[in-house]
Structures are given as C-alpha cells and as structure tokens.
Amino acid sequence: MNTAQRPTPPNRSRSRNRRSRSPKYATGSTAVFDNLWRSVSEQLPYYRSYPRLVGETGGKDFVLAHASADVDALSTALLRGAFEYQGQKCSAASRAYVPASLWPHVKARLLDDLSALKMGDVRDLSNFIGAVIDKRAYERVNGYIDTARRSGEASIIAGGQCDARKGYFVSPTVIEVLDPRFVTMQEEIFGPVLSVYVYRDEEWPEILKLVDQTSPYGLTGAVFATDRAAITEASAALKFAAGNFYVNDKPTGAVVGQQPFGGARRSGTNDKAGSILNLLRWVSPRAFKETHVPATDYRYPYMKD
C-alpha cells in the first residue's frame, strides 16, 4: 500500500490482537486476500488516503475442447496443464470439457501417457511429478478423491492412489463426472486432480455458458479448436472467465515480462503483474494548470448589456 498512515489510534493494539486470533489460511488463497481486505477496511479512518490493494489468489482453470480440436495437442495440454508441479499452481488445469466425439480418443491417449509417467524424487529429472507440499495439502487432495470415489456422479479413470509413507505422494488423478457442477468441477483443489465432463457435440453453445458460470474464479482458461469461428465464439463468451486466455495451449506457463498475468472475479484484482497496468495501479496522478493571463474581473462577456 502506497499510503502514509496517521498516528496510531488508542485502540490499535486491541485490533491487532483481534486479528491475530482470526483463522489461519493458506498463503495466496482467496480467504487470505479476503482477510487482508477486511483488516485494511477496518482501519480506513486512520489512512491519509484510500489504500490500494492488489492481489492474485486462486483459480478453477478450465480447458474447453471443441469438436474440431486436435486430439494429440489436447491430450498433451491436459496432462501438462493439470499435473506439472503436482497441480500446485493457481493456473493449473483443473476442469475440462470434452465433446463426446473426441473423448474416446482423448481418453485413450491420456491414459496411455499417464501409464508411462514417472513419479518420485524431484532430484531425478526423469520424474514428471513429485510429492505435494505437505500433510495438510495431502489430506485435502485425498479428501476430494475419496468424495469422487464414493459418489455415484463421478468415476476415477486414472490414478486415485495416495501414499504418505515417504513423502506425501498423490498419483495423477483423472475423474470423469456425470454432473458438470460436481464438487471437483467447482472447488479449487490445488493438487494433481483433473475432472472431465463429456458433453454432446451439439451442446457447444450451452457449454460456453456452463464454463463461464460454474466457477467463481476467473484466472486462466484454454480453448482447443481448429475451427476459427469456434475460437472467436469462445473468446467472446468467456471474456470474463479467464484473465489469461489460451488458444490451443495449456492454461499455464505465463512468462513474466512477456505475458502479463492475473485474473478477476474471485481470482484477484487482475492488475496484470509484469505489465505497465500494474505500475499505473500504484501511482497517484496529478493534473497541473498554470494560467499566464488570469482573469481580473468576475464578469463574463455575455453578462454585458
């Protein structure tokens, strides 16, 4: 916050104590940013000017495939986008929408690649995936997998194994859901779990609305299609669903300084880190006027008889 504070009010210490007892949240989560925003707003009378808050929180990032999509490119993007860094990226692909005409081929390719994927110590560069960050993350991800396993609206078609004997390992997991609003399609998991909803090809217009409305987040998203009209249609329909929108590529891997990053809705303030937009967020503009021939009479010409 680029603001100077006024002298500390008498009850400031009590406010600090009250905040210190607030729930502990995961760093970078929407809950953390909400808590920061509330804490700052409680102190507004003691700031010289209104604070400016910039934050990027989480996402429920999508991959949407059109019937014209390239199967191999789509399958590769799903695997890389969902399972690189164990899916512990705010931009990780977490929900996918695949047309029925492509799903058998995409599923076969995806399962084949996953069967060859190695998991283990990150010091062995032949391993594609490692352990999740800690026990808390492990238990949270395992909980979502158990929910899918017990549900009649979802089936685990790959992975689903969790092992905490030596490190917190969760195998890359693909869940096929019957309900497009199943919990794993809506909530941020932050782990190696990809949920897939298979739709009828003719449902494309409805699917565009579904993708936009399913999640409160708006960070990243990707559309796969070789039909340019479909790409244009998806770009327009999903303009608020992803601050970083990808065409025929996985929704991760923005390079700082080359691709400004950020999303809106519950994903943050979308101030695009790495761009001039973020810099302008922090400056305070001042308009300057100097009059070289100032008025010396209050009367305007039109006031004369």
Active site residues: 56, 90
Q: Which two tokens stand for residue 258?
A: 């080359």
What is the identity of the amino acid at 257? G
Give the burial string for 94-131 (b: 16+ CB within 10 Å, else e): bbbbbbeebbeebbebbeebbeeeebeeeeeeeebbbb
Distance in angstroms (rounded) separating the CA atoms of residues 214 and 38: 26
Q: Which two tokens stand for residue 287?
A: 């308009």
Distance in angstroms (rounded) separating the CA atoms of residues 95 and 109: 18
User: Rounded to the nearest 5°, which phi and psi values hold at 171?
Assistant: -70, 145
Rg of the chain over CA atoms, in angstroms? 25
Cα 225–chain centre separation: 22
List of E strands, 59-114? 61-65, 93-99
Cα 168–chain centre separation: 24
Give the burial string for 246-279 (b: 16+ CB within 10 Å, else e): beebbbbebeeeeebbbbbbbbbbbbbbbeeebe
Residue 33, number of CB atoms within 10 A of its CB: 21
Q: Which two tokens stand for residue 241?
A: 């669903």
